[in-house]
Structure 1
Amino acid sequence: MVSSSSYRDWAWLPKNLLWSIVETYLDQFSDFMRYSSVCQQWRCVALENNHRHKQTLNIFKACHNKLPMLLMGAKENHDEKRLLFSVTEGITYEVQLPSPCHNRFFGSSFGWLFTVDKTIITLLNPFTGRAIPLPAFKDPFGYFEDYMDEIRDYFVEKGIILSDPCLSPNSYEVVVIYGGMCRLAFFRSGDNSWNFINTKRDYVFSDVVYHKGQVYAVNCWSELVKIDVASEVDHVVTKRSRVCAQVAYLVESQEGDLLLVQRFWKSIDVDDENNSHSKTFKFKVFKLVYPVGEAQEKWIEIKNIGGQALFLGDNHSLAVSTSEFSGCQSNCIYYTDQNHVISPPYVCHGLDDDLGVFNLEDGKFQPHYIPDLSEKQMFPPIWFVPNLKGN
């Protein structure tokens, strides 16, 4: 037992000493966050006039309740910077990346981003600087290898992480949609290679989700497929629809239901030189149900998602409770452009970009971020929930 004479109350060290520690040693924001977590006194000292981390602190305050923010490339695709836009505040923050990254981001599960460099997929937490390179991506079916150099940032369309690598460093799993036929590949931490799932036929998947302990994927015909990634067995859950959407999304609602969102766009002329741009004109939302007396589950269209909002795009599709976020609109879909130019330079920003908010009740569209004319040839935007707690 420690005697009272040897006890030291570290919380009440002189402020000048505590401030000296902040200024001298806390270069990384992750160190700053750990320092702030020691006790209330240390946190107060850390927050006082801390200009070095003021920008990141503002981001932390804006996203502490897990509301997605819009992550975009900085002007001229600056390798060491990105922009984060808060839809509820209407404020854009500039983020300094721990290390340069000249590739497109996608995925965004648990605060981790996916990025691809040639055949290497890397998981990156842009705030803590932690990066996890995954094994080389070598498709045994050869669907993308002939043209991978031309679409190097897009041979992997989407990715999800089934559990947080910070919490499960030895047991996290990753699923991606890749190649021109939009097939599935699976990776488990500790493995030396990817497992390429050879389904019964080419479904051409549009989205993938981890729902109630199972991996589900869907195509643009609303055909839902349950995938056993361990045995590579696929089971068709719902029938193929007669209607083909441009994109289909899978989202787990706040109530735990599995939702399907269909997105439809059309081409419109944007100038006198016959240049066109795709513009979304409709969304439809469905819920997976198992009708009594029927042998198969089916999608039932719903017109109202209640007090929640959906965030859709190149990210892991998300549903949030709007009651927790002032300024976040209920019964709405926040979406980003997904009809990308898939080879550099990426002309995916501008006044005619296809991003905004869709209200399910009245069917109206409105903008959430309006880029200016100088923000062209930049990386596509993506919804992202920063995680500042990873090590």
Structure 2
Amino acid sequence: MAGTLPVARTHDWSGLPSELLQIIARKLPDISDFVNFRAVCTTWRSSALVSNPPPQLPWFLQRRYSLQGDLSFYSLFSGKIHTVPSPNSSGNWLKGPAHDYILLYNATSYEISLLNPLTDRKVVLPFLDIAGPCPVRIGPDPIHSEECVVLSGNSSDFKTGILALYQPVERDWVVIEECSLHNRDAYYNGMYFVNEETGATKVINVVTRKVVHIVLPPPEDDNDCHHSPRGMTYLVQSAGDILRVFLHDDELLQVKDSHFHIHRLDLASENGGKPCWVKISSIGDQILFLDQDSGFSLSCKDFSGFRGNSIYFLKLQSQDIYEPPFYFLCRYDIEQARTELLACPLSNGGTWIVPSLR
């Protein structure tokens, strides 16, 4: 019939082959897109298993100053803010950075627990006489696998520092050492790497609980201290290496003036057999994610559009002593030695978490 509009064709998207749906699902680096994908229909949900999620870019979890339950996250991939209700986090301080689970600490009861902030699943850990713990390492899945939890902090009487290891198989804590410990340490392959006040790095075998190496700091000229009287040293495990990442920064410096020097730990040094730090100018395809307490590394190969050889970090801005700290989220390009400000609306600081539905 003349003038009749053509009938629009409809497509049965649920009929797509399962193999194709799995390929599509594996290319969703933001957990919110993965959730929306699973919500389309039963066929899509069965092709995108929670037990086999795609590699996820970290979300930035905003620090909170009231101990209420709602948590706010910033997604690097979408640039969006996500607010998630989390009743189980009420009354607890949040400690990270972490994969899947963050550490909860109750300053009244001294209870330590693990929490998946997306599913609100909480697992209470055995009692440990420690105040204000900071996680050195929380593995990708400490609940469903044998991944350990390593943390450091002060004893409840603040008389000594404690380094402790929780092993899910034994379901108990092992105190590795009692000494003065600091944040931004690292744990890898049974070894704990400690930042000493002297600038040296102490390497502890967590099985024998013995110090196996004392690694002297890099030469002062490498640290370029005359350009930045203040800064922070991070020890980070990255693609099997231990990196010493020094952030030259000051709250009075502008964002563009913040910069890093990076060294790789060489335990098999030809320098008389003594372990040493080797200065490097690239970390390859790795991306470092640092907060105020610690950091971790991911490969950019899993995330299209994101460049490796870079560092995402927090820049503390000059502040009034009566106001909460104010932070900028920044990205540092190691090759270009250049820092750029990111458009993150969260300014209270916080920590990184790799989101998971497990």
Do both proteins adopt the same fold according to a TM-score greater than 0.5, normalized to the shorter chain? yes
Query: Conserved in 1, the CA contact under 8 Å of 2:113 and 2:125?
Result: yes
Q: Trace 1:347-386 onto structure 2 (pairs within 5 A).
A: 347-349=324-326, 353-371=327-345, 378=348, 380-386=349-355
Please give the per-residue CA displacement for 1:309-347, whole angstroms capped at 9, x wherever unaligned.
111115652222223223323321101257999x9x981
CA gap of 1:324–1:231, structure 2 versus 1, over 3 A, is: closer
The question of 1:85 aligning with 2:74 is answered: yes
2-side partners of 1:86 and 1:247: how far apart? 25
Go from structure 1 to structure 2 and tell me whether the alpha carbon gap of 1:137 and 1:279 turns closer, same or farther (over 3 Å shift).
farther
- Unaligned stretches of 5+ residues in structure 1: 1-10, 13-28, 48-56, 140-147, 149-154, 270-276
**Distance between the aligned counterparts of 1:103 and 1:278, measured in 2?**
32
**Count of residue pairs brought into register by the alignment:** 306
Aligned residues of 1:88 and 1:327 also touching (Cα < 8 A): no
Which one is further off, 220-229 or 324-333? 220-229
Cα pair distance change 1:173/1:78, threshold 3 Å: closer
Residue number in structure 1 paired with 2:150: 175
Whole-angstrom CA distance in 1 between matches of 2:297 and 2:86: 27
Change (3 A) 1:282 1:163: closer
Instruction: Sort the Cα spacing of 1:236 and 1:94 in 2 relative to 1 into closer, same or farther, 3 A.
Output: same
1:331–1:360 Cα contact (<8 Å) kept: yes
- In 2, the alpha carbon distance for the partners of 1:176 and 1:295 equals 30
Given residue 355 of structure 1, which amino acid in structure 2 is its aligned partner?
A: L
Rounded to whole Å, the distance in 1 between the matches of 2:333 and 2:197 is 22
Change (3 A) 1:386 1:314: farther
Displacement of 1:356 in angstroms is: 0.9
**Match among 152, 177, 180 for residue 197 of structure 1:** 177
Instruction: Specify the alignment match of 1:114 in structure 2.
Output: 103
Task: Give the C-alpha shift of residue 183 in structure 1.
Answer: 4.4
Distance in 2 (CA, whole Å) between partners of 1:41 and 1:308 is 36
CA 1:297–1:73 in 2, change beyond 3 Å: closer, same or farther? closer
CA displacement 1:341-383 (0-9 Å, x = unmatched): 9x9x98134xxx24311121222211224337xx6xx5x3211
What do residues 57-105 of structure 1 show as CA deviations (whole Å, max 9, x unaligned)? Answer: 9xx9xx932211111157x857232222122322222222253424332
Query: After superposition, where does 1:1-391 map in structure 2 within 5 Å?
Result: 42-44=42-44, 64-73=54-63, 77=66, 79-97=68-86, 99-118=88-107, 119-139=110-130, 155-162=132-139, 164-168=141-145, 171-179=146-154, 183-189=162-168, 190=170, 195=175, 197-199=177-179, 202=180, 204-219=181-196, 222-241=199-218, 243=220, 246-254=231-239, 256-268=240-252, 281-289=258-266, 290-292=268-270, 294-314=272-292, 317-336=295-314, 347-349=324-326, 353-371=327-345, 378=348, 380-389=349-358
TM-aligned CA distance change 1:223 to 1:161, over 3 Å? same
Query: Match of 1:88, SS?
Result: coil
Once residues 323 and 124 of structure 2 are traced to their aligned partners in structure 1, the CA distance between those partners, rounded to angstroms, is 25
Question: What root-mean-square deviation, in Å, do the aligned CA atoms of Structure 1 and Structure 2 show?
Answer: 4.0
Name the counterpart of 1:26. Answer: none
Match for 2:306: what amino acid? C
Task: Give me the whole-angstrom Cα distance separating, in 2, the residues matched to 1:368 and 1:107.
Answer: 21
Distance 1:361 1:117, change over 3 A: same
- Give the superposition deviation at 1:293: 5.2
% identity of equivalent residues? 21
Deviations 1:121-140 (A, max 9, x none): 1111112322122233325x
Partners in 1 of 2:197 and 2:43 — Cα distance? 49
Structure 2 CA distance for aligned equivalents of residues 328 and 229 of structure 1: 35
Task: Report the Cα distance in structure 2 between the residues aligned to 1:213 and 1:347, rounded to whole angstroms.
Answer: 37
Structure 2 counterpart of 1:211, one-letter code: Y
SS at match of 1:287: strand
Instruction: Check 1:165–1:346 CA distance in 2 against 1; reply closer, same or farther (3 A cut).
Output: farther
Instruction: Give the letter for the 1:225 counterpart.
Output: K
| Distance change >3 Å, CA 209–CA 354, structure 1 → 2 | same
Query: 1:261–1:183: structure 2 CA closer, same or farther, 3 Å change rule?
Result: farther
